[in-house]
Chains A and B, each alone.
Chain A
Amino acid sequence: MTDKKTRTLFIVPYLLWIILFVILPMLLILWYSLTDSSHHFTLNNFVQFFRNGIFLRMMLNSFWYAFLITLVTLLISYPAAYFLTRVKNSQIWLLLIILPTWINLLLKAYAFIGIFSNGGLFNQFLHLFGIGPVNFLFTDFAFIFVATYIEIPFMILPIYSAIKDINPAVVQASEDLGASRWQTFKYILWPLSWPGVESGIQAIFIPSLSLFMLTRLIGGNRVITLGTAIEEYFMTTMNWNMGATIGVVLIFLMVVVMLITGRKRRRKKVNL
């Protein structure tokens, strides 16, 4: 390859980036969590976080919502991913599923303000059955629905590629050996597609813990996740120390989740 000198030249901007934008910000956030507003060292922020029931309650709530969002997304996405491997022209289907992820997230959230309103699409639909109008906006249902809506493609893709990688002969063999559909699913499909499910969960659970603009637009600030709390502490109340503390807790939880679900995988955008 190229010689040593050029290589050092190559790595300088990259290393500079790592130091300035990866290591330093993380240290700074840790530093802020360990100081008070006059820059004196203190553990008080963490003590307050774990002692004041409000924070723990908020954290548990945040976990519960992230769990629900991940679960619902998985339930909808798994069959979709499975069917994707079974239809003709799966590339085109896939493209159609990916395309909405390209539309700006904010626009999609904004659309739901209209859809969920008293005279919106949802209530017009219910009206056909003589129900309603039901208040959807600012309910837990609305929040989870929209979050799920946004995450579905990110769950379908990893599962799809995991299922696609399963040798069809294995499934065939299990069917030939007289396994029922349920058995084939339970003993063959599910375990073999587990890596895909895992990276899907990883790609959704952590961001769901930190959703912050949906909680405002769709949740009406009634659902406060860890992310919302951080955003509020940084941008509204300007109490950066407490915000950084919650941030450190979130980073810690993230590491735990990653250790549980195993290998690191690419998150978020799975492009064309």
Chain B
Amino acid sequence: MKKIIWSIICVLLACAGLGYLSYRLQKPSVEAKKQNLIIYNWGDYLDPNLITKFEKQTGYHVVYETFDSNEAMYTKIKQGGTAYDITVPSDYMVSKMKKAHLLDKIDRDKIPNLKYIGTSFLKKSFDPNNDYSIPYFWGTLGIVYNDKYIKKGSITSWNDLWRKKYRRQILLIDSARDAMGLSLASMGYSMNSTNNLKLKLAQTKLNGLGNNIKAIIADEMKMYMIQNEAAIGVTWSGEAHEMMESNSHLHYVIPKPASNLWFDNLVIPKTAKNKKAAYEFINFMLEPENAAQNAKYIGYATPNTAAQKLLPKKTRNDRQFYPSAKTLSHLQVYQDLGNKVTQEYNDLFLEFKMYAR
């Protein structure tokens, strides 16, 4: 018996040791001193050199933590116990967080550099007065294709995806809103449709795409497109940009007749500890020079018109990533449709997935 009690104690001691070690490993990132600015952002979504520059200029210490989906970020902030000073939700998530009272109202007087943001990127439906959010990057939903398999310029609209010859060639983004949205858009309906009949029609049309689908995946699409594993991918412009940097055979199009326009935004959560630093940081990031540097590093499109002018001409005039005003006018921003309709989108998309073979 003694032996047994000893072995139990040993196991418990080992557990305590392991627990302590893992605590120590994770600790440095949680440290929250007064002069810290804690940024909670998507992975690799900010030029590290800018962080150093900001630290030098202001004397704050920046802690950079990352998340990989809007939902994960939302849950974490909602659950509390965090002290993030800045986070970066997408459009529909801004309105969801706003409704859940998680966001601090922004005092625009403290951000003089707001004037550099193009007016077309302000006062969007998810935050009509920009009381809570400042646009950070923006982009579109579109189609990437590989010119090794597909003739250049032969894909211009969503309906082209349904062509019989693309059997098993399409990688589709695993997102209910985007998949249902592209089907709605291809029929000329709004990508924010809430009408049950239209949604059903969109699903039926999507079912017809089943044979052309190779896989319905998310982040790994980047890798597969780069490795020439598939001919066509439906994804966001930011992802597409990264793919194209590694594989020159890839091209991006914003399909006709309409597509999604998305925004990632800087916001200050209510739980922020160092709001002063947060304002300074936002202002710092809106400085045209810094915004341009960040855009060059990340490759996404910046809403900062003054910064756009500082970008190389080739980038600035790249209609794949800085679409013309005419194209822009066809794009739609997702709205938060409420729980019930969001559920319907999700269920219909899942039924499509069951059908898609």
Contact = CB atoms under 8 A, between A and B. Distances in A.
Interface of A: 37, 52, 54-55, 57-58, 61, 117-119, 135, 137-138, 216, 219-224, 229, 232-233, 236-239, 242
Given A54-B354, A55-B354, A242-B347, A117 B214 contact: no
B215 interface: yes
A221 B355 CA distance: 11
Contact of B229 (A61, A137, A224, A232): A137
Contact of B353 (A119, A137, A232, A239): A232
Given A135-B229, A237-B346, A238-B343, A229 B354 contact: yes
B219 interface: no
A237 B347 contact: yes
A224 B210 CA distance: 13
24 contacts: A57-B354, A58-B354, A117-B227, A119-B227, A135-B214, A137-B229, A138-B214, A216-B217, A220-B215, A221-B215, A221-B216, A222-B214, A222-B216, A222-B357, A224-B353, A224-B354, A224-B356, A224-B357, A233-B350, A236-B176, A237-B343, A237-B347, A237-B349, A238-B343
Given A221-B174, A221-B215, A236 B355 contact: no
B280 interface: no
A59 B72 CA distance: 31
B228 interface: yes
B347 A118 contact: no
B227 A118 contact: yes
Contact of A54 (B228, B343, B351): B351
A61 B353 CA distance: 13
B213 interface: yes
A57 B343 CA distance: 22
B343 A221 contact: no
B347 A222 contact: no
Contacts of A236: 176, 346, 350
A228 B351 CA distance: 12
Given A224-B354, A242-B347, 19 more contacts: A57-B354, A117-B227, A118-B228, A118-B229, A119-B227, A216-B217, A220-B216, A220-B217, A221-B174, A222-B356, A223-B357, A224-B353, A224-B357, A232-B353, A233-B350, A237-B350, A238-B343, A238-B346, A239-B346
Contacts of B353: 221, 224, 232
Interface in B44-84: none
A135 B149 CA distance: 14
A221 B346 CA distance: 15
Contact of A117 (B229, B354, B357): B229
Contacts of A232: 350, 353
B229 A57 contact: no
Closest 7 CB pairs of A and B: A220-B215, A237-B346, A221-B216, A138-B215, A58-B354, A224-B354, A54-B351
Contacts of A52: 351
Nearest to B168: A135
Interface in B204-246: 213-217, 224, 227-229
A55 B351 CA distance: 8
Contacts of B168: 135
Contacts of A238: 343, 346
B301 to A, nearest CB: 29
A128 to B, nearest CB: 21
A222 to B, nearest CB: 6
A222 B355 contact: no
B189 to A, nearest CB: 21
Given A54-B355, A137-B229, A220 B214 contact: yes
Nearest to B340: A37
A224 B213 CA distance: 14
B350 to A, nearest CB: 5
Contacts of A138: 214-215
Interface string B169-188: 00000101000000000000
A261 to B, nearest CB: 27
Contacts of B174: 221
